[in-house]
Structure 1
Amino acid sequence: MKKIYIYAIAALFVTGNYGCKKFLEQVPNDRLTFDESFATRSTVEQLLANVYSTLPDEMQQRFPANGNTAGAWTGASDEANYTLPSSFSNNINSGNWDATTGQVNTMWQLYYRGIQASSNFMANVGKCTDCNNNGVDLVSRYRAEAKGIRAIYYYYLLRQYGPLVLLGNDPIAADAPISAISKPRSTFDECVDYIVAELDGAAEGLPALPQGDSDYGHVNKAVLHAYKIQVLLTAASPLFNGNTAYADFKNADGTQLVSQTVSTAKWTRAAAAAKSFITTYPNYSLFKKTGTAPAGVDQTLYNAFLAVRDVMLTDWNSEVIFAKPNADITNLGYNMSPNHNNGSGGDKGGSFLSASQQLVEAYFMANGKPTTDNTSGFTRTGFTDYKAPDDNIIRSVQNMYVGREARFYAGITYTNRKWINPNTTLVTSFEFNGNAGKSSIGNDDYSSTGYTQRKNLGLSGWSTGGRTNIFIRLSEIYLDYVEAAYEANPSDPDVLVYLNLIRERAGIPQYGTGANALPVPADLRAAIRLERQVELAFESHRYFDTRRWKIAATTDKFINGLDITKNAATGFYNIVQQESRVFDAKHYLWPIPNGEIQKVPLLVQNPGW
């Protein structure tokens, strides 16, 4: 057979790293023939690694869609302002992007390339001559993994671009004419049904859970079930469930691409999938941790703080369903770490991920009440001597940061907070003349809001990498179930059961009628969404949640922060609008790349673009 260098078929197999230990970390020999590359297990496993390689590494959001599928989700949501001038989130927030923008094209092409790579792998893995391990049929397992990953890529495209072109199960030849791939977009519901069927079909050929160390980082039944929940939740949400704003969103032949009829059954379907996961995989549990609280720190708060902090830092803990092992987290860590002028090494970062005042005030008080509740005790004025859960002394801090819940202290770095590294005496100040303030920094390496993200930052600072990058954890499944169950049937008792499990782990009072319980909120939908905003903060959910709920036109118009041009005595703690953002109706979906529209006449553009 004619030799085909591996790099010459890059469109079929994307080079990359994904897996556990040494598996899925290599690239096939670049001088094998196409058939030879599938002949042996060792090379097949390397090609399977390439199938996985298009999965988004969201720890690289500093450079979104820069040859990868990392998104701009944190900085383009109301969670934070990504102050790097080069960050694509700034283009999204200013409205300075369209169907010709490079990142728009990159994301579309990479995911479809990953889909094609999966199809090619599935079609050729049967050529392996030694993929039988003591009677275990590895060919079937590898094929099922590729099928599951392909479905996941379709889902990522679906939530970002809307209704898709479904390519079918067979790989498309590299020299196929345009006529062979010129297909119209399938309806949103058709895409959902296809993806769910593919996830279910792939799951049949996979173990339920990891069978050994080498399985971590691979998809299995539980992983694909978790993605199925995400697909169904998206399909049930207002953006795609009877959205009349998309009444004219049709193919050239008049096919309606988004159903105009609201269906409660879609919520029921999503709820059933989530409840099935919970009952089928009882081995997963919310991560908890205990320790001896420092003097002056409430024990319940301290235990909750350890749990919600370390769930992100403890590899493959009881809550992690799917993750990328050995991820390079140093870029993300550097972005989160304040630019301490008296720090060094992992304690001196870039201050690029500036948490918003909106998120700061979204976290609950320690009494479990939202800051908007007049009886919560929250105030924006004055100072109090207070000891944070991970501090060794009492400090005078602004009252906005006093008496807050554990997730706030795990998630946000604020002024006069001891730095995260227990081996340093650094105390962060974002005031104008503070050690991480604007006055002594000549570039953009300062917080634009007076806060930085703290969640997911290792205790040694930013310079230590090699942790897991979590894709899905159990708390998300619980929150998916709570939302879907409520929308399907607001009186479903499971809504409070699983919402309260999240709150219990966070160390705050539960909703109900028992001792120390809080009354069930009158607007339970808003309470569920707020819990989700807080629990999953900085995990690339908020961007998509506000869009599928159709509230981004309200939430994504501005970013508030503190007045970083002043010190405490002159107005630093005044809340000011730090950034005005552009969000129009068309921004609920990304545009289809203009080049794709030109190549495939049957491909209609998304509304407004």
Structure 2
Amino acid sequence: MKKIKYNIYKAILAFVVFILSWGFISCDDYLDVDSYFNNMTQLDSIFQRQDLVDQYIRGAASYLPNEGNLWTSSPNPFQGASDENFTSWNDDRHAGIKYLLDEITPFNSYFNNWPRYYSGIRKANIVLERINEVPDISDIDRRDYIGRCYFLRAYYYYLLLLQYGPVPIVPDQAFPVDSDVEAMSLERATYDQCVDYICKNMESAYEYLPEKREASADINIPSKGAALATMSRVLLYAASPWYNGNKFYADWTRTDGNHFINQTEDNSKWGKAAVAAKRIMNMNIYKLYTTPKEADTPSLPANVSAADFPNGAGNIDPFRSYSYIFNGEVPRLLNDEFIYSCVPSRTGDSPMWIAAPTFLGGGNGLNLTQDVIDAYYMKDGSDISESTVEYPYPSSATAYEAIGTGYAFSGYQLMGNTAKMYDNREVRFYASVGFCHTLWPGTSYTGSDSSLKNSEVTYYADGNAQPSQNYPDDYNRTGYTCKKYIHSEDNLKATVREKAFPIFRYAEILLNYAEALNELNQPYTDDASGITVSRDVSEIRSAFNQIRYRAGLPGISIADASSQSEMRDLIKRERRLEFMCEGRRYHDLRRWGQDAMDAYNRPIRGMNVKAKRSDRKAFYTVTTLSDKLTRRSFAYKNYFCPIPKSVLNKNSKLTQNPEW
């Protein structure tokens, strides 16, 4: 009789587990009921020892994507699908390119993060439900574990929201085994409900987490700042036009009639976003990273304030200050700009590998677009179309000519063969972009092959970055690549420094604050924090100018900040340059609405890499690319990724995203 009851119980549980399989249980075979019983037994043991609970929480965090793997083996399509770049291969390792080539559908398995993220949520929920059972744990550690799990739960929902839009919010406690199918099939919440739930949990995480992580082993575990930074980003997105009163989604509703995307614009959402950023600023823990001015720091243009940073750039080295954030020169523990980070791969999946030419051991398969190159300012902050006499942008008739005499600044060497079109640009350009005749020092190499060190890389058809015979597709299509994450010592034939990838850094908080204030029409007060924000032009100017001065550029005036439309354009461009190839561009374009349509439906342009060295002028002719890798398009469906059909099949109340 007991055996019969057990089998009946197993049958019921098998049915329950099947229904929950799309995310409430784990990635294990959800039909393996015996494994489920074993897992529950193991859980009882886990919560009897602190060390096992710690391991379990780290297991819950293991579902987090490595956001530093931007192009190769990337966990999401966002950087690969950005208008900043495209890869030289359309394959499974670089599937981000498929998104705008219309090759990702609900029926294939690319970027199916749904079950992983819900598995992480489930594990976090279990810890929060059972953490008080652990006997051998201090109050400090218990609080930390609780904070980490609140953070994980909220962060997984944030990741789901980024990729899929509104998603179901599962109960904080697991369903009872006798629940019926109707109770366990959940409809998607609205976008605003998801945002509110994320912020509610991040507030709880903020309450429990420590202000900083001091040990190097724990440096990538979230702190209070990481919780607030997530809120800052989520609330900024929620206030933006695509998610705030967007009539395109007027017919997209839940079964209760509520719109998935609210249909009435609420300007106070900008106030909430500004408060979240201001709370981080008020912590007085984070600041923009800067390095002191050195002997080889170039003189500032006359229109850049020589006052000490943050009121000017007189006492800093702008190039080193920006480049050291990314290239591994400064250990993560010593960089107060980083709020939350991860460690990307250093070899086959790394930014170094995809950017480096073949003869230096790389894949030579990352191509920046001409649009992002042209967006960078001249040294004095002028646009290339409005350059000044002091720092002129050359005419098309002379743009291809070599500058003739190379020069060094801040440890960077500009070669004499550099085209005039790349001279006198702002320092973020040199810190981020590899162009034809860029020097790749690679000084960690100590072997006998002189071509593998201090190499001047060229992208002509007969240049040294041409592909090998065995890999004919491994060549650069535009004449530009990303060097942002490459240290002067890095060499794939020798050693590559470990880098920390900034998931959140203080520069974003400052620009979030400036943008939110700029869009705010009337003062907003947050009762919980007591912070009041308004469209204060001096506050906007102060936050924005810190970014400008760190880059060695002139700050904006009160008059500039007084114009909402002009300030909006300045902020959009600053975000484009400051966060180039950091995974932010796709989300910015999307949340701004029409900007995504405009940017993604422009033709991709670059240098004419089919031209040989002997025809230098032809190479430096801006060329429209039209091969199979660049025939991208952006439709309304691309504002959200498709929910996989395998997920939809397991929950009858789920609806697919619009136009998929």
Q: Which residue of 1 aligns with 2:114?
A: 108
Aligned residue type for 1:413: G
> CA separation in 2, counterparts of 1:519 and 1:453?
35
Q: Which residue of 1 aligns with 2:600?
A: 556
Q: How does 1:255-270 map to 2 (within 5 A)?
A: 255-270=258-273
- Which of 44, 51, 62 lines up with 1:35 in the alignment? 44
User: Do the aligned partners of 1:438 and 1:564 also contact (CA within 8 Å) in 2?
Assistant: no
> CA separation in 1, counterparts of 2:633 and 2:192?
30
Deviation track 1:136-192 (CA, whole Å, cap 9, x = no partner) reads 342232122111111011011112211110102113479976433211111111111
Deviation at 1:108, TM superposition (A): 1.6
Q: How does 1:465-480 map to 2 (within 5 A)?
A: 465-480=497-512
Deviation track 1:304-358 (CA, whole Å, cap 9, x = no partner) reads 111111012223211111112x5433222343433253x4xxxx31112211111
> CA separation in 1, counterparts of 2:367 and 2:187?
41
Higher mean alpha-carbon deviation, 54-63 vs 372-381, is at 372-381
Evaluate the alpha carbon distance shift between residue 290 and residue 519 of structure 1 in structure 2; reply closer, same or farther with a 3 A threshold. farther
Evaluate the alpha carbon distance shift between residue 48 and residue 372 of structure 1 in structure 2; reply closer, same or farther with a 3 A threshold. farther
Q: Which residue of 2 aligns with 1:72?
A: 77
> CA separation in 2, counterparts of 1:476 and 1:295?
26
Q: Which residue of 2 aligns with 1:482?
A: 514
Aligned: 1:55 with 2:92: no
Deviation at 1:114, TM superposition (A): 1.3
Q: Which residue of 2 aligns with 1:303?
A: 317
> CA separation in 2, counterparts of 1:40 and 1:264?
49
Deviation track 1:64-107 (CA, whole Å, cap 9, x = no partner) reads 46xxxx22222200111122321112211211122122024x21
Higher mean alpha-carbon deviation, 72-81 vs 228-237, is at 72-81
Deviation at 1:12, TM superposition (A): 5.3
Aligned residue type for 2:47: F
Aligned residue type for 1:454: K
Q: Which residue of 2 aligns with 1:333?
A: 351
Aligned residue type for 2:472: N
> CA separation in 2, counterparts of 1:34 and 1:96?
41
Deviation track 1:433-453 (CA, whole Å, cap 9, x = no partner) reads 111035867422211111111
Aligned residue type for 1:100: F
Aligned residue type for 1:406: V
Aligned: 1:461 with 2:478: no
Evaluate the alpha carbon distance shift between residue 297 and residue 140 of structure 1 in structure 2; reply closer, same or farther with a 3 A threshold. closer
Structure 2 counterpart SS, 1:129: coil
Aligned: 1:354 with 2:405: no
Deviation at 1:11, TM superposition (A): 7.6
Deviation track 1:372-401 (CA, whole Å, cap 9, x = no partner) reads 435473235242234353445751211221
Deviation track 1:38-72 (CA, whole Å, cap 9, x = no partner) reads 2212211111111111222123344446xxxx222
> CA separation in 2, counterparts of 1:204 and 1:533?
33
Deviation at 1:589, TM superposition (A): 0.8
- Which of 202, 218, 221 lines up with 2:205 in the alignment? 202
User: Do the aligned partners of 1:251 and 1:257 also contact (CA within 8 Å) in 2?
Assistant: yes
Evaluate the alpha carbon distance shift between residue 540 and residue 172 of structure 1 in structure 2; reply closer, same or farther with a 3 A threshold. farther
Higher mean alpha-carbon deviation, 382-391 vs 504-513, is at 382-391
User: Do the aligned partners of 1:364 and 1:370 also contact (CA within 8 Å) in 2?
Assistant: yes
Evaluate the alpha carbon distance shift between residue 62 and residue 532 of structure 1 in structure 2; reply closer, same or farther with a 3 A threshold. closer
Aligned: 1:234 with 2:237: yes
Q: Which residue of 1 aligns with 2:382?
A: 369
Percent identity, aligned pairs only? 28
> CA separation in 1, counterparts of 2:351 and 2:105?
30
Structure 2 counterpart SS, 1:60: coil
Q: Which residue of 1 aligns with 2:290?
A: 288
> CA separation in 2, counterparts of 1:210 and 1:50?
19
Aligned residue type for 1:531: E
Q: How does 1:383-532 map to 2 (within 5 A)?
A: 383=401, 384-385=403-404, 386-387=406-407, 389=409, 390-392=411-413, 394-422=415-443, 424-438=453-467, 442-459=471-488, 460-462=490-492, 463-489=495-521, 492-512=537-557, 523-532=566-575
Question: TM-score, length-normalised on structure 2?
Answer: 0.80
> CA separation in 2, counterparts of 1:576 and 1:339?
21
Structure 1 counterpart SS, 2:99: helix
Higher mean alpha-carbon deviation, 486-495 vs 108-117, is at 486-495
> CA separation in 1, counterparts of 2:178 and 2:502?
38
Structure 2 counterpart SS, 1:397: coil
Deviation track 1:500-529 (CA, whole Å, cap 9, x = no partner) reads 000000011111279xx9998972211111
User: Do the aligned partners of 1:252 and 1:602 also contact (CA within 8 Å) in 2?
Assistant: no
Evaluate the alpha carbon distance shift between residue 293 and residue 437 of structure 1 in structure 2; reply closer, same or farther with a 3 A threshold. farther
Structure 2 counterpart SS, 1:33: helix
User: Do the aligned partners of 1:155 and 1:231 also contact (CA within 8 Å) in 2?
Assistant: yes
Deviation at 1:225, TM superposition (A): 0.7
Between the two proteins, the alignment pairs up a number of residues equal to: 572
Q: Which residue of 2 aligns with 1:20?
A: none
Structure 1 counterpart SS, 2:169: coil
Aligned residue type for 1:529: K
User: Do the aligned partners of 1:365 and 1:371 also contact (CA within 8 Å) in 2?
Assistant: yes
> CA separation in 2, counterparts of 1:258 and 1:589?
12
Structure 2 unmatched runs, 5+: 1-5, 7-20, 29-37, 302-312, 445-452, 522-534
Aligned: 1:544 with 2:553: no
User: Do the aligned partners of 2:462 and 2:613 also contact (CA within 8 Å) in 1?
Assistant: no
User: Do the aligned partners of 1:321 and 1:472 also contact (CA within 8 Å) in 2?
Assistant: yes
Aligned residue type for 2:80: G
Aligned residue type for 1:437: Q
Deviation at 1:208, TM superposition (A): 2.2
CA RMSD of the aligned region, Å?
3.0
Evaluate the alpha carbon distance shift between residue 519 and residue 170 of structure 1 in structure 2; reply closer, same or farther with a 3 A threshold. closer
> CA separation in 2, counterparts of 1:146 and 1:444?
45
Deviation track 1:412-445 (CA, whole Å, cap 9, x = no partner) reads 0111111142462211101111110358674222
Q: Which residue of 1 aligns with 2:655?
A: 604
Structure 2 counterpart SS, 1:99: coil
> CA separation in 1, counterparts of 2:387 and 2:255?
54
Q: Which residue of 2 aligns with 1:21?
A: none
> CA separation in 2, counterparts of 1:418 and 1:237?
41
Higher mean alpha-carbon deviation, 287-296 vs 423-432, is at 287-296
Structure 2 counterpart SS, 1:475: helix
Question: TM-score, length-normalised on structure 1?
Answer: 0.87
Higher mean alpha-carbon deviation, 80-89 vs 538-547, is at 80-89
Deviation at 1:288, TM superposition (A): 0.6
Structure 2 counterpart SS, 1:437: coil
Q: Which residue of 2 aligns with 1:24?
A: none
> CA separation in 2, counterparts of 1:536 and 1:14?
34
Aligned residue type for 2:317: N
> CA separation in 2, counterparts of 1:409 and 1:259?
42
> CA separation in 2, counterparts of 1:336 and 1:63?
7
Q: Which residue of 1 aligns with 2:3?
A: none
User: Do the aligned partners of 1:512 and 1:520 also contact (CA within 8 Å) in 2?
Assistant: no
